[in-house]
Structure 1
């Protein structure tokens, strides 16, 4: 009898641990293997009407999208670019360094094993398969090559009509199957971008304070939605460079922020129409969090 009880208890504990781990992975994912349910809606933009302006959408994205290398201080994602796109990510945040005729994707001084051409090739392959989708890209030049990055990107894409480089705000119908560039500061191709990150918002010493900052940023984004600019809110953060948050790596911050963010956004689901939050760029997002962001667009008009 006692043996049977111990066996039952063991299985209950095992099930509880499995459930808790799975639950965490729904919103936060540091596992590089993507497993999508059979019913997962990869081409979620197919449900958006052609006449909707891009600035009226809420779009799931990643911060430092290619930052998979460099250790705890630098790693911001676990999924490959191909898997991020299949999971529903439609905004990519890229820091590039120009050397010779090549734009290398970086995070700080760490090369992220990819060039901008590699990224574009992967995105175009995805868009060839899912023609209803569009992918937004923010290019942030690094170091002393800032003045030449625009020319290098223009040379890379040529006159390819699969890119949106105009500053005019497009409708969804105008950008299906295309890469949409976003411009800010030293990069001048594409749609003007507003970044809600204020000074010091990326530094985290207390996660509850970070949550409150994100709420203020999302409120700012809502006010900017529907205008002539795209707007992005970064939910990412790190404690590196601070004393009290020295152990808060980008991963540890995301582990705490992502479930909270999912719960915060879900409260708007009964709203008709649902609010627009623009681009929400995250670290280590799980598939349920990505879908929570994307589904804000459903019945949200």
Structure 2
């Protein structure tokens, strides 16, 4: 009786696993998460300002909450280098899921001006299978509150539809933003003067509200099994962004990455990747700034995981 029952349970599990490819990964991470958290806490410190994994927000005196005030009104949004956060609201449900430490309002105060919002048809913010304790209405409200106090800034907001009910995401966005007169959702690239105090929606893939954006990353670049190779990909993508920036669309590059879903890189969470990539990225941007001084250009949006104040400032300084 016991043996028959066990066989039936195994068969049932295998059947469910075939129906849901992510189930095995979720089970593995449920078991490994406590051990991994302990390991990362033991081996990681937060002394540097390029990488931040602390929720507490203590900006230095040099923090630039109004850094866009110095940008000329006539400059197009597509001609500006902009610090962004990858998976902006992913702050809950363990190391395999979390990509940011600061709350949205703190990211904005730190200088982040590109938000990467993953939303399902119920207007819930998600990262993959995991709801992130916020709705799209929450995102708009927090961003509006920031812009009310920082009228010379603008915030680019990209919405990526996620399941369930991807087809309802656009309608959900339209429902929330109706009535606001400071949200740009047309495809024309605005100047900085036209965008001040406003949210600018960004269209990508099948989401067609807002200004067009083009990613330099290749398919699968986010998967990391070797951090050295990941740095090489980031460098190539930023070089391509430098060549393409300043045209009729915003250019987007990512420094974020994860080994989740791979065998060789399964312990490379977004946090572990960012801890090594972010200081390197800061140094690379310092070198890139010298080239931009010699040959004025921009690199568009750089979307990052766990950025610290110094790294965000390094992105901003590419505009000067």
Q: TM-score, normalised by structure 1?
A: 0.88
Using the TM superposition, give the Cα deviation of residue 144 of structure 1 relative to its aligned residue in structure 2, in angstroms: 4.2
More deviation, 248-257/35-44? 35-44
The residue that corresponds to 2:267 in the other structure is 247
Give 5+ residue unaligned stretches, structure 1.
1-19
1:148 pairs with 2:168: yes
Which aligned pairs between 1:132-147 and structure 2 lie closer than 5 A? 132-147=152-167
Distance 2:300 2:118 in 1: 21
Using the TM superposition, give the Cα deviation of residue 223 of structure 1 relative to its aligned residue in structure 2, in angstroms: 2.2
Distance 2:308 2:301 in 1: 16
Deviations 1:21-80 (A, max 9, x none): 5642x1000011111122422100001000001111110000000000010100000000
The residue that corresponds to 1:118 in the other structure is 138
More deviation, 27-36/139-148? 139-148
The residue that corresponds to 2:223 in the other structure is 203
Using the TM superposition, give the Cα deviation of residue 206 of structure 1 relative to its aligned residue in structure 2, in angstroms: 0.6
**Pairing partner for 1:233 from 246, 253, 266:** 253
Distance 2:274 2:297 in 1: 23
**Pairing partner for 1:62 from 67, 85, 89:** 85
**Pairing partner for 1:170 from 187, 190, 193:** 190
**Pairing partner for 2:104 from 52, 75, 81:** 81
The residue that corresponds to 2:239 in the other structure is 219
Query: SS in structure 1 opposite 2:121?
Result: strand
Using the TM superposition, give the Cα deviation of residue 269 of structure 1 relative to its aligned residue in structure 2, in angstroms: 2.9
Report if the CA contact (8 A) 2:251-2:301 is conserved: yes
Give 5+ residue unaligned stretches, structure 2.
1-43
Give the paired residue count: 275
Deviations 1:112-164 (A, max 9, x none): 01000001000000000000000011100112422221122112111422101
Q: TM-score, normalised by structure 2?
A: 0.83
Distance 2:96 2:121 in 1: 23
The residue that corresponds to 1:297 in the other structure is 319
Query: SS in structure 2 opposite 1:181?
Result: strand
Deviations 1:204-246 (A, max 9, x none): 0111100110011112212221111111111111111112211
**Pairing partner for 1:194 from 214, 228, 249:** 214
Q: Calculate the aligned-residue CA RMSD, in Å.
A: 1.4
Report if the CA contact (8 A) 1:147-1:186 is conserved: no
The residue that corresponds to 1:287 in the other structure is 309
